[in-house]
Homo-oligomer: A and B are copies of this chain.
Amino acid sequence: MNMAKTFEQYLKENRDQHLKELANLLSIPSISALSEHKEDTQAAANWLADALKNIGMENVEIFPTKGHPVVYADWLKAEGKPTVLIYGHYDVQPVDPIELWESPPFEPSIRDGKIYARGSSDDKGQTFMHIKALEALLQTTSTLPLNFKFCIEGEEEIGSPNLEAFVEEKKDLLAADVIVISDTTMIDQGKPTICYGVRGLCGIQIDVKGASSDLHSGLYGGGVQNSIHALVEIVNSFHNESGEITVEGFYDQVIPLKDEEREAFIKLGIDEEKVRQELGVNHLYGEQGYTYFERITVRPTLEVNGIYGGFQGEGLKTVIPSEAHAKITCRLVPDQDPEEIVELLKRHIEKNIPKGVEVNISVFDKGAPYVTPIDHPVIKAAARAYEAVYNVPVSYTRMGGSLPIISNLDQTLKAPIVLMGFGLPTENFHAPNEHFHLENFDKGLLTLCHYWYELEKL
């Protein structure tokens, strides 16, 4: 492939300049969660808009939202060719505890082939790569094999509160044939990975109320329902002894795994004994009939994230608490519908309310699960691009977490989504000493260039 040499050469020759520019972007403390950094998030948006203009992108615009702005740009001169929408985010997590950073979070520093800075891996570094890959193609071929659009938001780390409305409003502007996001991780160093699905999420809070005030267990103990006992009875009813969720209808819409998928997961070579030791538990535990990896990625879950009621201080207080509370989230897989699952949970709880208490259920944010079929042509093309650069078979994975943006983009734009992440799970995103391996910076740039040509061929 002749062309590859050309962009390879360009990227090699300009590597120092590119890293200098990346360091520049990484020095902007664009922490979306902290209002004192509002000007910094705007500065990061401006920086990206300029960078996009500089490489030759057109219609560059910074769209304000109720929160931090969205940077848009496009290049639509590949007539008759598909359009790619590249999503990324320029906002970063807070840096506390700052004293644990070995170099200041906004003074990028390259050590041992890694660039250390907040946002280096999540997600400024990976977003920057998309810009530089297109620059390499434009500089070496004066054109692009496909049409491209960028949508780079500034609120991913705070749950993308304004993205849904933005995407809905701009759905014609953002329309694309495939959506590419580089904001996930490879499963391990040297193991390029395509994440082809994420779990969805729904959450509820259960509030149990017994007597109208806390009661003395000497005076009332044995005579009234204890709100904690009632809550515990409800919570304990969610799972059976095999670790399955007993909520009626919970699994009805779950699409069974394909043999191809289960085989791909076995190839990941997850060492359950190593995981067990790292987590410091005597047994891994979960739904029977599935591997650890399957349980954390492609099986739905119901987890109590918090429980509280009564006395929590030192020693004892002989109180029968009036109230007890539990916070619960479910991770969902295709085709479970978060709204429907919430209804099933409510029905289950209402059937299981113990005598002597009242129960209130609040519903929290929901996100749909998403999967791009493992054998979809855009996934297969990505695999070929990775394999051309990394020279190893690509790994296929699904993510146990939920990306708030995925279901937004999926449900509004209705295009397949390809998650090509170049981060590593050890790179401390959301923690002190976040870093990004330059090996994957270099190889990732090449992979992206290859991918656009692979997509062109489809």
Residues of B within 8 A of A354 (CB): 285
Residues of B within 8 A of A315 (CB): 364
Going nearest first, the 4 A-B pairs with the smallest beta carbon separation are A218-B401, A212-B280, A306-B310, A285-B356
Partner of A365, one of B210, B316, B320: B316
A257 part of interface (Cβ distance < 8 Å): no
Report the Cα distance A205→B292, complex, angstroms: 31
A210 x B281 contact (CB < 8 A):
yes
A interface residue count range (under 10 / 10 to 19 / 20 to 34 / 35 or more): 35 or more
B285 x A224 contact (CB < 8 A):
yes
Residues of B within 8 A of A325 (CB): 312
Partner of A217, one of B275, B282, B311, B331: B331
Of A27-35, A117-125, A226-234, the one contacting chain B is: A226-234
B318 x A223 contact (CB < 8 A):
no
Report the Cα distance A201→B220, complex, angstroms: 14
Residues of B within 8 A of A211 (CB): 279-281
Partner of A304, one of B218, B232, B303: B232
A203 part of interface (Cβ distance < 8 Å): yes
A317 part of interface (Cβ distance < 8 Å): yes
A327 x B306 contact (CB < 8 A):
no
Having A222-B301, A228-B326, A232-B236, one finds 16 other A-B pairs with CB under 8 Å, namely: A217-B301, A218-B331, A218-B400, A223-B285, A223-B293, A224-B285, A228-B304, A229-B239, A232-B232, A232-B235, A232-B304, A282-B358, A303-B320, A304-B310, A307-B309, A307-B324
Given A212-B280, A280-B211, A356-B284, answer yes or no on A220-B296 (Cβ-Cβ < 8 Å).
Answer: yes
